Amino acid sequence: MEFKAKDIAALLRGEVEGDGEVTVNNVSKIEEGKPHTLAFLANPKYEQYIYTTEASIVLVNKDFKPAQPVKCTLIKVESAYDAIASLLQMYESMRPRPTGVEQPSFIHESATIGQNIYVGAFAYIGKKAKIGNNVSIYPQAYIGDGVTIGDNTTIYSGVKIYHDCHIGANCTIHASTVVGADGFGFAPNADGTYKKVPQIGNVVVEDDVEIGANTCIDRATMGSTRISKGVKLDNLIQIAHNVVVGENTVIAAQSGIAGSSKIGQRCVFGGQTGMVGHLTVGDNVQVAAQSGIASNIKNDVILRGSPAFEFSKYQKCIAIFRKLPDMYSSINQLEKEMKNLKKE
């Protein structure tokens, strides 16, 4: 399908600068722009490309003022990043969605299945599972006994959801993620061996959650491991038993949250963040990548380091750390001079 610049601007409540009749039929990155594609400029670091891009239309922020002439048509919007996200969501919604039950697949006779669902080949749906309307379950997914899945949720290929777990509405769980495997619970015996502690809880994933590929969320020892509404989890994340992740929190790839920890609302954890068990992190906390959280954290702070501490102090420490070789040389020189003075 082709779209004119003026129609895109109307959809986004933007303003056209250039040829409003120019058309696009695809999207591209601004540095790799091709004719008849739409790109966007949100990060000033990429401004150089707007003067050379071959993209026909570029979305820019309203306050953008080009330093030199541009040959593409500009559409000025409040936020270029939000605008491109909205357009991509519309594009995604236009893609045909598979429906029906492919064979071979298995759906237990006691399972409850909603309307307009898709179940891919070799998928398994267990006893007394409840699947909502407009749910997509892709090939080779496993839905255990007693699992509930809310409306409009997508379960991609190879996902495993263990028994009695709950997945909310409008969720997306990407390939090969495991929800509800046993928490890491072992009690040491006197002879040095370990006795397994049964994990009899479950995992509750609330509405509007997205979970990346190959992420593992362990079931609770008792009660529930909870991923609250609006949480976004990246690929390759470990969430241990009885963890609670607060609403609209975002956690980047390769992070690990140890058992019984509580994370507040609207937090942001960078990649490879680690968190010790039985801790509490407040609301609106930002944690830089590769940080280690080893103590309770209050609300509204920015942290970095391992162990993590206040970001501004960390930056000062790093500045000093970089000077250590020079400081070491200076100290050695001073020691030599003092020895010489003593000899004299």
3-state SS track over 241-271? CCCEECCCCEECCCCEECCCCEECCCCEECC
Helix, strand, coil tally for the chain in percent (to 5): 20, 30, 50
Same domain, 236 and 173: yes
Which pLDDT score, from 0 to 100, does residue 123 have? 98
Same domain, 28 and 109: no
- Residues annotated as catalytic are 241
Q: Specify the pairing of strand 15-17 against strand 292-293.
A: unpaired
**CA 316, CA 329: separation in Å to the nearest integer?**
21
Same domain, 35 and 62: yes
Q: Average pLDDT in the 274-296 region?
A: 97
Transcribe 277-323 into DSSP letters.
TT-EE-TT-EE-TT-EE-S-B-SS-EEETTTTEEHHHHHHHHHHHHT
Same domain, 24 and 140: no
Express each pLDDT in 56-88 by its tens digit. Answer: 999 999 999 999 999 999 999 999 999 999 998
- Decide if 327 is inside a domain: no
Measured CA distances, 192 to 17, 154, 184, 186 (Å): 73, 44, 17, 12
Which pLDDT score, from 0 to 100, does residue 311 have? 87
Domain residues for the domain of 45 are: 3-94
Same domain, 271 and 165: yes
pLDDT band at 261 (very low <50, low <70, confident <90, very high): very high
Same domain, 303 and 158: yes
pLDDT above 70: percentage of residues in the chain: 100
Which residues, 6 or more positions from 185, have their beta carbon under 8 angstroms from its beta carbon?
Answer: 196, 197, 198, 199, 221, 241, 259
Contact 251, 228 (CB under 8 A): no
Same domain, 81 and 174: no
Same domain, 12 and 36: yes
Could you check whether the bond before residue 307 is cis, i.e. omega within 30 degrees of 0? yes
Same domain, 225 and 134: yes
Q: In this structure, what DSSP letter does residue 103 have? A: S
pLDDT band at 336 (very low <50, low <70, confident <90, very high): confident
**CA 221, CA 225: separation in Å to the nearest integer?**
9
The strand pairing partners of 142, in sequence order, are 124, 160
Same domain, 235 and 306: yes
Which pLDDT score, from 0 to 100, does residue 77 have? 96
The reported pTM is 0.87
Residue whose pair of structure tokens reads 């990649």 in the numeric block: 271
Express each pLDDT in 126-157 by its tens digit. Answer: 999 999 999 999 999 999 999 999 999 999 99
**CA 320, CA 91: separation in Å to the nearest integer?**
50
Mean pLDDT, the chain, integer: 95
**CA 73, CA 38: separation in Å to the nearest integer?**
10
pLDDT of 315 strictly over 90: no
Domain count, the chain: 2
- Decide if 329 is inside a domain: no
- Decide if 342 is inside a domain: no
